[in-house]
Amino acid sequence: MSIISTKVKVVLAAAALTAASAGAFAQDRYDRYDRYDDGYEYARVVDVEPIVHRVRVSTPEQECWNETRYDDRSYGPSQQRAGGTLLGAAIGAVIGHQVGHGDGRRAATVAGAVIGGAIGRDQADKRAARNGYYNPPPREYQVQRCETRYRDDWEERTDGYRVTYVFHGRRQVTELPYRPGDRIRVRVDVTPAE
């Protein structure tokens, strides 16, 4: 082995040793800086328990169904029947008014209106039958009706986390709004003793 190769090996070993110690020193410095950053240190998390509560959630649901309705399709004869009844009642009232005196006249007027209305209606029905009018049966049809109802369900929601950590050998518990990792940052307050 030559002297030069031995020197190179020694130099390389020294450089490696220097680099390793510098890295260790830098890591130690980093850990020290990480731990004593403006009054904060890091504590090891040993347990995380979610804080859960139940919440009622209302979900709207539309419920629909069909209802049967009836359409009164009467036309023509109904109007004719009403017109005949009114005309007959008017004529009967005039004729009844001509008969009798005093209170008898009033009774005769009412009776004439009733009888005349019945005769007028009967005549209107006969005229409608002659002209081919008829009252069709009511038409049946479906109508969809809808109503919004609410279905209640229960859900579990996480409000935060109960975290147990160890700092300087002492076990502490706190609540956080998020799930922490392996460690949490804690504030260290050092005050002089009196």
Instruction: Sketch the domain layout of the chain as residue ranges.
Output: 61-149
pLDDT at 127 over 90: no
Q: Which residue has the tokens 């479906």?
A: 142
Query: Where residue 166 falls among pLDDT bands split at 50, 70, 90?
Result: very high
Q: Between 11 and 188, where is the model more confident?
A: 188
What pLDDT is recorded for position 74? 54
Beta bridge partners of 19: none
What global pTM score does this model have? 0.36
Query: Where residue 160 falls among pLDDT bands split at 50, 70, 90?
Result: very high
Alpha-carbon distances, residue 58 vs 2, 147, 155 (angstroms): 88, 15, 11
- Residue 36 is inside which H or E element, if any? none
Phi, psi values for residue 135, rounded to 5° = -95, 110
Query: Where residue 35 falls among pLDDT bands split at 50, 70, 90?
Result: very low
Q: How far apart are CA 173 and CA 99, in angstroms?
A: 109
Kindly tell me the burial class for residue 85, based on how many C-beta atoms sit within 10 Å of its own C-beta (0-12, 13-18, 19 or more): buried
**Percent of all residues in the chain with a pLDDT value above 70, rounded to a whole number:** 71
- The number of beta carbons lying within 10 Å of the beta carbon of residue 119 is 17
